[in-house]
Amino acid sequence: MQDNASQQAYCLERMGVVSWLPKSAVVSELTLSRPISPWDTELTSSISEDNCPTSHDETATGFALNSVVSSSMDMEVTQKTVAGLKEELLSNSSVIVEDLQPIEELAVDIAPQTVFDETLVHDICIQLYVVEKRLIILTQVPKAFDDFNEIEQLALKMSQALLRQTTDEWVSARFSWPDKLHNPYFIENTDWMLSALDSFIERYLDGLDRPVMIVAGTQIQKMVSSLRPEAPIMSFPRADIVSLPELYRIPELKREAWAAMKKVME
């Protein structure tokens, strides 16, 4: 054990540890001395003073020279202007320089060409009824109209009288323009409005048998007349009457409306 302790002390001394304290002692100051090499000087190769780089060494001065050259080149580059570079290029006949002028982009407001028919209303609500796959009723209704049940009963009674049969099969739908649209290009475009109405009506034309169309309301009559000539409803027999809300509020108008509908059914 004593030999091991002495050997450990010898190794620690060779590594630079010159003193140590026991575990119970309070460490106030610890001084370590570490030589360049803790091993024997015989095992290490000595460094001669001739091999040490000096301030006159080429390797040491090479970085300084490179930094001076790069800084001077940066200054020359920054001092060159566009005009000076152009003159330098023009002096060399082997280099072709094009005198390019900057391209100026002009902002031009391109307004889309819209088709607006002032004779047609562009804020309308339309109620559609298809009864017994034979009768098509299009009526104009106010935006704030609430008596849809009453005009629906009126439309079914009219259909029953015109078809001379009970009305057991019927479909109702509503069309509104501009509805939820907010883009003025679409709202004020008459073609878009008429195309939307044409597509809306065409969805309910499948399976009809000898259809007859009743258009109730002055504004909806103008809109239907303005549809494309090849639209399917343009070839249907048609009766123009006042709107169903007007017939509901003014019973005196029913006589004239009945005569126009009776005529188209013959």
DSSP string, 104-128: PPPP----------TTS-SSEEEEE
Q: Smallest Cα–Cα separation from 145: which of 123, 119, 127?
A: 127
Tally of residues, the chain: 266
| Per-residue buried b or exposed e for 27-60, using 16+ beta carbons within 10 Å of the residue's own CB | eeeeeeeeeeeeeeeeeeeeeeeeeeeeeeeeee
Q: State the burial class of residue 12 (Cβ atoms within 10 Å of its Cβ: 0-12, 13-18, 19+).
A: middle
HSE of 229, CA atoms in CB hemisphere, 13 A: 0
Query: Which pLDDT does position 230 carry in this prediction?
Result: 93
DSSP H or E stretch at residue 163: helix 148-163
Q: Which residues pair with 129 in a beta bridge?
A: 137, 172
Query: Which pLDDT does position 219 carry in this prediction?
Result: 93
Distance in angstroms (rounded) separating the CA atoms of residues 68 and 57: 17
The tens-digit pLDDT sequence of the chain (266 residues) is: 556 777 777 777 777 666 655 555 544 544 444 555 555 545 444 444 445 444 444 444 444 444 444 555 555 555 556 666 667 666 766 655 555 556 666 666 655 555 677 778 888 999 999 999 999 999 999 887 788 899 999 999 999 999 999 988 999 999 999 888 888 778 878 888 999 999 999 999 998 988 999 999 999 999 999 999 999 999 999 999 999 999 999 989 999 999 999 999 88
DSSP H or E stretch at residue 92: none
Distance in angstroms (rounded) separating the CA atoms of residues 41 and 46: 8
Query: Which pLDDT does position 43 carry in this prediction?
Result: 47
Do strands 124-131 and 170-177 pair parallel, antiparallel, or not at all (unpaired)? antiparallel
Domain regions of the chain by residue span: 58-91, 124-265
